[in-house]
Structure 1
Amino acid sequence: MPRTPSPTGVTSETGVTGLTGVPRTKRALRALAHPVTYTRWVHLFVGGVAFGIWQFVSTHTNWVPFLCVALAGLVPWVRVAEGVQARLLLTPDGSAPIATGPSVTWADRGRTSLWMLLRLTLGLVSSLFAMECLVLAVDLVRAAAGGTATGSPLPLPGHHWWYALLAPLPLLVLLGSVVLFGRLMTELAVRLLGPSAAERLAALEARTEQLLERTRIARELHDSIGHALTVAVVQAGAARAAGSPEFTDRALDAIEETGRAALEDLDRVLKVLREPERPAGSSPALTEADRLLDSARASGAQIDAEVTGPLDRLPGPVSREGYRILQECLTNVLRHAGAPSTATVRVRIAATDRRLTLDVRNPFDRAAWAASAARPSGSGSGLRGIRERVALLGGTARTGPESEEWRVHVDLPLR
């Protein structure tokens, strides 16, 4: 451990001030003042009480309780009871990884059985030690007053008044043992009642599923809300530039329709977040591609669309992800293609028995694209979202400039 000069000029180990060890003393005092120290002692005391009850009601040998608890630890549901007790009494703040599920493997049962043996043993030892400390403190006071010791673990020759000064020492030792035994039990609980490798793997998989679901929801919100806001901004700007009441009415209609669709998506996502156990509502599918194309046309873009194949027979995940990919492509066109009224977008959607192909091309204005990418909104998360969606379905995606066009080409397998 590194050594540092203390404020008093005496070199000491890091964390210990001077020669008095004040931080350690403070930690010990804080431990004595913390409620968890005494809940741990109660947990220990239960083992000693169980052994005492056995001795009171039975005349059999003392090793029988140990055999009984060892066999009880092999019962799968005993691990549930022991885990709940350990969490409530040893780590009520939930800071220690203690499992509360039944034993699944024989390794779990063996660890639970060993835990039961150690709990009974340490409970018995701590209870006997506590009794001896209390008896010694009482006998010191008795000897100082001229009385007779009643069974002190240490010989107390004579009757000396200064025995009374030693009476608090056994109580301090008892308090210290309460702290040490409690920490030892907590360490044993973490090692013996902690989750097994299989349980940790299951928890990690569940956490991964959670993160994937959150990522999927984030993509949904980005694509849906981003598209709606982009259409609204473009339509409002075009209506202001046109100065035509008729065009303004069409723009407001497009903004209303796009906003309503975005609100439906937002409400569906919020339902998933509020009630994750309930199935999510239906997401828009590629059969609704006309809605996206009409929205882009209303924003001034010239859309040359070619749709071939039975879109209504596409698998659900492929159709939904295809819709979101097309939505993100059109959003990027409106956001980066310069003046939308001059953008000619060629969209080709081809569905066969084995694959779905989406090919979106639009004029590529490098200056406009660079200026848009330099703003905070041009973070590239949309294209990254397209690649993530395609990767999840085992497809391929190519995005980037080709000659004078920006192209997004996606192939998705149907099986």
Structure 2
Amino acid sequence: MLAPPRLVFRAVTFTRWLHLVMATVLAAVCALVHPGLSGLGTRQAAWLLVTPVPLLVASAMVPAVRLSEGVQAQLLLFPGARDGGTPASRSASWGDRWRTALWLVLRYELGVLTAFLSVWVPPLTWGLLRSADGGRGPGPAPWWPTGESRWYALLAPLPPALLLAFVVAAGAALAAAAKALLGPSAAERLAALEERTERLLEHNRLARELHDSVGHALTVAVVQAGAARAAGSAEFTEQALAAIEETGRHALEDLERVLGILREEAPSAAGRPTLADAERLLAAARGSGAQVTSEMSGAVATVPGPVSREGYRIVQEALTNVVRHAGPVPVSVRIAVRERVVELDIRNALPKAGGAAWDSSGGSGLRGIRERAALLGGEAEAGAHEDGWRVRAVLPLG
């Protein structure tokens, strides 16, 4: 917490003071219209606290007024703020309008009081100093000091100190009110939070897709190139190059689609592969030397888009892990569409060296499989099974 001297002499204290006093322009206009500055007495001055209120409420109904007040508050109440302040925006609902009206009235009332003290405190201080020196007070108001007393000199610093304390307190109160009344409502903050959460989830999904698609393509390309070099057969080399070309083409399509989304272009789900395109994964795995057998049952083409797309990525990651860690081993892929769920079952033999091919608890690929299944309300598991390795996922269709 700042000490009082530092709090008083900060630049923000004086910008808030200016913001408060600016609100009295309307009071000055009303006083000029009636009764005029020359005829302004105590009673008329008190009415100035009430007279402009209907006009303030009416002006708050204009959506642009909220934007104007938000800009002023940001510049004068929160100068140089990075993580504070009030984001300026137009009124989007009647709730925004009524909160703007409350803000205008509060700012006006505090501003009139601040202006009154700012005008009368200097003469009062001067009167105390003159009375301490044997002079007379500057006016007939009942609070002016009368008589002669050296003690008035000790009281002279008190009015300016109280004025500064009031300005600091009023400025802080107005800043807090600006955040509550000019800032986003609870519903708007919730909507912004939900939008940010959705954006983060989308980025995580895109990261998983890049990992699965590009990682799969690179794995297939590396394995195919190594197998072609070891085989020394022109025919096998031709097949390997064709498989690398096809896998690379699909990876480039996925990469272009993901980059388009990151550029905030309209995302197209139509270009994303689904379980109906799983044959391309099986062909790529076979081209890498794996002995793949497949079984599909049920209406794969009727699986809902999100489930079918995520299911494709799960099969892709499972086959990528087989090619990368186990090599040319027998693999069985089963895709079963039942009444309420899609069941994916990918099994492979372990390499002859023995042992588990990879740790079931680690690796971003297996973690991504579990996350994909969980986001759809399903479940996935991976680990040693009988004499091999098994990845199984159950995705609900609802």
TM range (shorter): 0.7 to 0.9
CA distance in 2, matches of 1:273, 1:312: 29
Q: Is the 8 A contact 2:137 2:144 kept in 1?
A: no
Pairwise CA distance, 1:411: 3.4
Pairwise CA distance, 1:37: 3.9
CA distance in 2, matches of 1:86, 1:54: 24
Q: Is the 8 A contact 1:239 1:251 kept in 2?
A: yes
Residue 98 in structure 1 maps to residue 90 in structure 2: no
Q: Taking structure 1 as reference, are residues 197 and 207 closer, same or farther at Cα in structure 2, changes over 3 Å only? A: same
AA partner of residue 46 (structure 1): M
Correspondence 1:7-406 to 2 at 5 A: 24=3, 27-28=6-7, 32=10, 34=11, 36-59=12-35, 61-62=47-48, 63-70=50-57, 73=60, 78-92=65-79, 93-96=81-84, 98=86, 100=89, 102=91, 104=93, 111-135=99-123, 151=139, 154-155=144-145, 178-244=167-233, 246-275=235-264, 278-280=266-268, 282-337=271-326, 340-341=327-328, 343-351=329-337, 355-364=341-350, 370=356, 372-373=358-359, 379-406=362-389
CA distance in 2, matches of 1:384, 1:26: 56
Pairwise CA distance, 1:67: 4.2
For residues 59-80 of structure 1, the C-alpha deviation after alignment (integer angstroms, 9 at most, x for no partner) is 4843221344356557776545
CA distance in 2, matches of 1:41, 1:289: 69
Q: Is the 8 A contact 2:346 2:390 kept in 1?
A: yes
AA partner of residue 409 (structure 1): R
Q: Is the 8 A contact 1:287 1:311 kept in 2?
A: yes
Pairwise CA distance, 1:177: 5.2
For residues 159-208 of structure 1, the C-alpha deviation after alignment (integer angstroms, 9 at most, x for no partner) is 99x98x99999777766655443222112222333433322322222222
CA distance in 2, matches of 1:255, 1:169: 86
Q: Taking structure 1 as reference, are residues 138 and 371 closer, same or farther at Cα in structure 2, changes over 3 Å only? A: farther
TM-score by length of 2: 0.78
CA distance in 2, matches of 1:122, 1:286: 66
Q: Taking structure 1 as reference, are residues 239 and 122 closer, same or farther at Cα in structure 2, changes over 3 Å only? A: same
AA partner of residue 57 (structure 1): V
1:10 aligns with none
Pairwise CA distance, 1:328: 0.9
AA partner of residue 43 (structure 1): H
Q: Taking structure 1 as reference, are residues 232 and 38 closer, same or farther at Cα in structure 2, changes over 3 Å only? A: farther
SS of alignment partner, residue 332 of structure 2: strand
Q: Is the 8 A contact 2:254 2:272 kept in 1?
A: yes
1:412 aligns with 395
Q: Taking structure 1 as reference, are residues 167 and 247 closer, same or farther at Cα in structure 2, changes over 3 Å only? A: farther
Q: Is the 8 A contact 1:48 1:123 kept in 2?
A: yes
SS of alignment partner, residue 64 of structure 1: coil
CA distance in 2, matches of 1:305, 1:371: 21
Q: Taking structure 1 as reference, are residues 332 and 368 closer, same or farther at Cα in structure 2, changes over 3 Å only? A: farther
Q: Taking structure 1 as reference, are residues 180 and 245 closer, same or farther at Cα in structure 2, changes over 3 Å only? A: farther
Number of residues of Structure 1 aligned to a counterpart in Structure 2: 381
Pairwise CA distance, 1:215: 1.8
SS of alignment partner, residue 215 of structure 2: helix
Q: Taking structure 1 as reference, are residues 318 and 369 closer, same or farther at Cα in structure 2, changes over 3 Å only? A: farther
CA distance in 2, matches of 1:307, 1:128: 84
Pairwise CA distance, 1:247: 3.9
CA distance in 2, matches of 1:314, 1:132: 79
Q: Taking structure 1 as reference, are residues 371 and 391 closer, same or farther at Cα in structure 2, changes over 3 Å only? A: closer
Q: Which runs of 5+ in 1 are unaligned?
A: 1-14, 16-22
CA distance in 2, matches of 1:313, 1:88: 57
CA distance in 1, matches of 2:274, 2:223: 24
Q: Taking structure 1 as reference, are residues 310 and 141 closer, same or farther at Cα in structure 2, changes over 3 Å only? A: same
SS of alignment partner, residue 76 of structure 2: helix
Q: Is the 8 A contact 1:48 1:125 kept in 2?
A: no
CA distance in 1, matches of 2:198, 2:85: 20
AA partner of residue 116 (structure 1): L
